Amino acid sequence: MAAKEELYAKVTPRRQRQSRPSTVKHGTTLDVLLSMGFPKTRALKALVSTGGKNVQAACDWLFSHVDDPFLDDPLPREYVLYMRPSGVLLQQLSHFWQQSRVSCGKNKAHNIFPHITLCQFFMCADGKVEALTEALQATVAKWKGLIPMPLPLELYTSSTFIGLFVEEQMAEVLKTFALDFATEATAKADVHVEPHKKQLHVTLAYHFQASHLPNLEKLAKTVEVSSGCDWLAVLYSRDIRFANHETLQVMYPYVPQNDDELELAQGDFIFMSPVEQSSASEGWVFGTSLGTGLSGLLPENYVNRADESDTWVVHGSHSVLTSASPSNSGSSVAGSLFDGQLNDSLFDMDPPGLTGLCPPMQVLRPTCQSSLSKMRLFVCRHGERMDVVFGKNWVSQCFDAKGRYIRSNLNMPSSLPARSGSHRDYDKDCPITVFGSTQARLVGEALLESHTGIDFVYCSPSLRCVQTAQNILQGLQQETKTKIRVEPGLFEWTKWVSGTSLPVWIPPAELAAANLNVDTTYRPHIPISKLTVSESYDTYISRSFQVTREILTDSKNLGNTVLIVAHASSLEACTRQIQGLSPQNSKDFIQVVRKIPYLGFCACEELGETGVWQLVDPPILPLTHGPNHSFNWREMLMQD
């Protein structure tokens, strides 16, 4: 408690500067929340905690924080304005980030993505946040096209710090931009913003071991500082109560065994203060959940260290080269993880209340509209799977003694494809749910609305992937026009398959007989016979890169757009190396993968005829969904 009071005292003077009455500008979004009966203070807190995305995100946040003891706390969030690189320079910096982490371990720079700090952290009342974002939009509109690119950067190294410093004259231009934002923010949102007065720079490494300096310096010199780049002015916020806490991420769900323990949802973030650890015994930590706001003890081996910025919320992202339109696009590729036997099901739950978080470092934002003549690659994860929703024993529950399928829930498909083998083969090769089919059709309909056609569809041999591809094509109204090519080389990392054998997949001829539009004449690049159980990580990454490259080569000059429907891991494994980036280590790879939800979707474009690709914004909006628990009216409504 003493530590919390000290923290509150620290921020009180900044709160007192906000003396004018707040002006609410959330408009219809706030009105909808108020009409639903939420108090205004809670509705505003939910909106700013989710980046003001939409009513659904705010409602999800409110429902998950219903028992949060600080739900009605008036303490505002803390905000900061950064300049973030994109394009080729971001690729260069991402490569440095990953290579330095692999060879030298994590240093303090890894806590926050590459950026140039434009101002100090400042407080803003919840009711003023909309006005604050408008201040940023107005500033960017005023400066559009006036900041020369590329920014001149110079490498600086010392025994304790490595960074890229902005040339002095250009730094003064950026400081003037920051000063204009501070003026706009004061006028519109009644906040006090202090522009950064020190030398402007991108930090590459600090607080590292002296023995790592030569290697870090060598890696830093590989960064092409003159690489093309669109810099983005991005406004972030964080919860001031946890500014000095260590950030952890939940690897496994945990159900409390005692009253003082914290329930853990996979993917949630935990804030841990060293001051509060005296109450925890060995092997346990005391922390507070980002997803629920609740605090308690949790097993240490259920969490992993995360970066501070993983929990930050984006409130506006604007290109200084193009128009000042806000961008909150996320990506299907991001990052944090663990070793051991994993399965696709580990990545199936979207943690509550985590919408609007800081977008991942590797997203490339196109500075112009994509040309329709460019080669495009879409990679999509399959839809909601049966064994995750209904448990690993769903097969035993849904098949009778004669092997006949009988569904017991509306979210189970009314029928399943016939299998030449045993129905027990569904244990390792499960179908998607009814909702999974709906998810996939929504994606197809969105592609249709965006006037995006698909020339070729390739998918993993897993039934859930084939069914997802079929439903995407139905939504796209191409289910009879475009055939699905089943490619075993797109199957997930075989280390994640339980047992000592691979799944028994339904052959293409039988899939076609089950009215799935599969190309029975297609000859795979990597046949099933070439897959091995418990393959190494390097083998999986090499396999994914090889098959993706061969698919793109086959499709070139025959069509512009290729869709791959496979697994969560495919969004990273099939796109990373075609961008010219080196593979991540296995731990960072799994951290990326576990954040990818059902129907997670990413897009790549080829840069001219170079054979080099870059991630770009997909032509469709992301699809957000949440878990829905089983409801039994007898148990719920007939209690004494």
**Number of residues that this document lists for the chain:** 640
Pick the closest to residue 531 from 458, 460, 430 (CA basis). Answer: 460
Which of 101, 115, 196, 382 is catalytic? The answer is 382
Eight-state DSSP code of residue 254 = B
Pick the closest to residue 447 from 569, 333, 603 (CA basis). Answer: 603
In sequence order, what DSSP letters do the residues of 50-68 get, joined into one string?
Answer: TTT--HHHHHHHHHHTTT-
Which of 77, 318, 567, 576 is catalytic? The answer is 567
Asked whether the beta carbons of 346 and 66 are under 8 A apart, the reply is no
Helix, strand, coil share of the chain (percent; to 5): 35, 15, 45
Phi, psi (degrees; rounded to nearest 5) at 187: -70, -40
Eight-state DSSP code of residue 491 = S
Place of tokens 């109560």: 241
Pick the closest to residue 468 from 390, 527, 384, 394 (CA basis). Answer: 384
**Cis amide linkage into residue 150, ω under 30° from 0:** yes
* Torsion over CA: 571, 463, 470, 435 (sign): negative
Active site residue 382: yes
Asked whether the beta carbons of 567 and 544 are under 8 A apart, the reply is no
Which residue type occupies 408?
S
Q: State the CB neighbour count (10 A cutoff) for residue 588.
A: 18
Which of 381, 419, 525, 576 is catalytic? The answer is 381
Asked whether the beta carbons of 320 and 543 are under 8 A apart, the reply is no
Pairing of strands 116-117, 122-124: unpaired
Element (H, E) at 295: strand 295-299
Q: Kindly report the three-state secondary structure assignment for every residue of 379-413.
A: EEECCCEHHHHHCCCHHHHHECCCCCECCCCCCCC
Compute the distance between CA of residue 140 and CA of residue 121 in angstroms, rounded to an integer. Answer: 19
Place of tokens 């914004």: 617
The count of C-alpha atoms lying within 13 angstroms of the C-alpha of 105, restricted to the half-sphere facing its C-beta, is: 8
Compute the distance between CA of residue 403 and CA of residue 257 in angstroms, rounded to an integer. Answer: 39
Cα distances (Å, whole numbers) of residue 384 to 387, 409, 418, 599: 9, 15, 20, 8
Residues marked active site are found at: 381-382, 567
